[in-house]
Amino acid sequence: AETSRAMSQWELKEAFVSNLNGTSLQEVALGSFLAPLCLINRGLILILHHQTTRTLQPPLPTIFRLPLDFSLLILPLVLSCTILSSALHQVFIYLTVVSAGLFSYINSRPSARHPENTISTFLQSHIQFHQVPFVTIFRVFVNVKTAISILAVDFSVFPRRYAKTETYGTGVMDFGVGAYIFANALVCPEARRKNISGSKKSHITKQLLSVWPLVVLGMGRLVSVKMSGYHEHVTEYGVHWNFFFTLAIVRVVASVIFAVLPANQSWVLALLISGLYQSTLETSGLKAFIFHNGDREKDFIHANKEGIFSVVGYVAIYMAGVQVGLYVMQPRSQVKQWFKALSMLLMGSLVLYAALYPCQTFIEPVSRRLANLPFCIWSVAQSLLFMSCLGIADMVLLFSKRTAVKHHLFLTKTQLLFFLLANVLTGLTNSIVDSLSCSSLFSVCVLLLYMFMNCFVIYVLHLCNITVKFW
C-alpha cells in the first residue's frame, strides 16, 4: 500500500508539470521589467543611505548586506511568480512609483545640485568597466530566476502558465532555458576575444576536457534521480538526458565551429543553423518523430530524442549570444557610447520580436521541446530585452551616484555552484515536503527559506573571498 501511495504521488507530481501551454509573450516581456526595478530600488536605497550618513565604504555593515539584497532583489521575484502573479501589472506600477520617488528625492537633494549634474554632461562623461556590469547582472538574474522556478514549479502557488510547455507555447521557464544558454555564450572565450593557443586540434581537445564538470553533474543528476525515484518529465529532455548534458554538448560543438570559422560572423551561423534545422523539421519526419514516436525503449536516440535534437537550436542561440557578447564587450569610454549600445540591443530585440510574428503565423509556434526557429528567435529577443532593461537600470544608478558607492552583488561569483546547489536543495525539499498539498503561504515560506539557503552559502563564500571554479 505504501509503494502504491508513493507511486501515485510520483505520478501526480509528473502530471502536475505536464501538458501545459504557457502564457503570452506580453506577460513574459513584462517580467523583464521587475528585476531592473528591484535593482534600481536597491541601488537608490544604498545611495540615499550613503548621502544621509556620509559613511565611508562599504556603505553598509557586513551583517546587513545579505538581508538587504535578499529583501530587495530575491523577495519581490519570489512573490511576483507566486501569490502576486495575478497582479503583475500592479507590482510593476508599485515598484516604478517607488523607484521614481527615490530617484527624484536623491537628485533634488542639495548635494546633487551641481551645474555639471545635467543629462548632457552625464552623457559626455567618461566611464570604464573592467567587466560590463549589466552582462554580469543579467547572468546573475537568469541564475536566480532559474533557481526560484525549478522548485516553485512543484508547488500549486506557482502558476501553471509559467511552467515549461508540453509541445508549443511560451512559458516563463521555457525562456529560462534559452536565456541560460545565451548567458553562457555572452562571456565565453570567443566573445571575450581570447586567442586560441596552440593548434586547433589541441584547442578542441582542451574544450572537450573543460566540460567535464558539466558531464559529471549531468551523470550525478541522472543517477540521483533514478535512485531516488524523483519525479521526472520525460518529454522535457528524455529518459537519460538533462540540461547539464545540453550545456556540455553546446559548448563543445560551438568550440569546434569556432576553431574553423570566425566568431565575428556567428550571427550568420545562428541564422543558418536555426534556419536549416527548421527546414529539416518541416520537410522530414523529424518533427513527428520527436512529438509522437513513443518507443522510448528501442535505443538511446528514441529514449532521449528531445534532448539530442534540441541541441541544434541551443547551438544557434549560443551563436547569437557570442555575437552579442562581442558587441557588448567592445571598449567604450563615454556614457553616451554605452547608451548607444543599449539602444542597439533594444532595437535588436524589437526587430526579432517583429520577425517572430510571421514565424509563428506561417511556420509554427514557439516550441522549447523542439528548440525550433521561433523558439531561438524568441529566446534571443527576450534576452536582449531583459539585458537592455538591466543596462538602463545601471545607467539610472550611475546618474544618481554623486560619490563612488561600491556594493557589488555577491552572487556574481560561483554561478555554476549556485545552479548546482539549487538543484540539490530542490531535490532535498521535494523529498521532505509534499509540495502539492501545501498552502500558498507555506509554499512561499518554503521557497523563501530555500532561496535564502542558496544565497547564504554563496554569501559566506563571497565574504571568505572564495571563488569555486571547476576548471
| Structure-derived torsion over alpha carbons of residues 270, 272, 273, 274, reported in degrees to the nearest 10 | 80
The pLDDT-based confidence of 287 (bands split at 50, 70, 90) is very high
- Across the range 201-226, mean pLDDT stands at 84
Where helices occur in 133-265 by DSSP H, the ranges are 133-152, 172-186, 200-210, 212-228, 234-237, 243-260
- Across the range 397-408, mean pLDDT stands at 63
**Among candidates 420, 466, 385, 434, which has minimal Cα distance to 28?**
385
CB 83 within 8 A of CB 440: yes
Residue whose C-alpha cell reads 519526419 in the numeric block:
285
Among the ranges given (73-77, 230-234, 446-450), the one the predictor scored with the smallest mean pLDDT: 230-234
Write down the pLDDT at residue 129. 73
The pLDDT-based confidence of 402 (bands split at 50, 70, 90) is low
Tens digit of pLDDT for each residue in 19-55?
788 899 999 999 999 999 999 999 999 888 877 776 5
Indicate the residue type of 58.
P
CB 132 within 8 A of CB 388: no
Tens digit of pLDDT for each residue in 387-400?
999 999 999 888 88
pTM of structure: 0.92
Give percent of the chain with pLDDT exceeding 70.
90
Go through 145-179 and write b for each residue having 16 or more CB atoms within 10 A of its CB, e for each that does not: bbbbbbbbbbbebbbebbbbbbbbbbbbbbbbbbb
Measured between alpha carbons, how far is 76 from 97 in angstroms, rounded to an integer?
15
Measured between alpha carbons, how far is 187 from 206 in angstroms, rounded to an integer?
18
Indicate the residue type of 163.
A
CB 214 within 8 A of CB 248: yes
Q: Any residues with CB less than 8 A from the CB of 262 and at least 6 apart, and which?
A: none
User: Where would I find the beta strands (DSSP E) of 90-137?
Assistant: none
- Across the range 239-246, mean pLDDT stands at 93
pLDDT reading at 1 higher than 80: no
CB 285 within 8 A of CB 248: no
The pLDDT-based confidence of 56 (bands split at 50, 70, 90) is very low
Measured between alpha carbons, how far is 453 from 466 in angstroms, rounded to an integer?
17
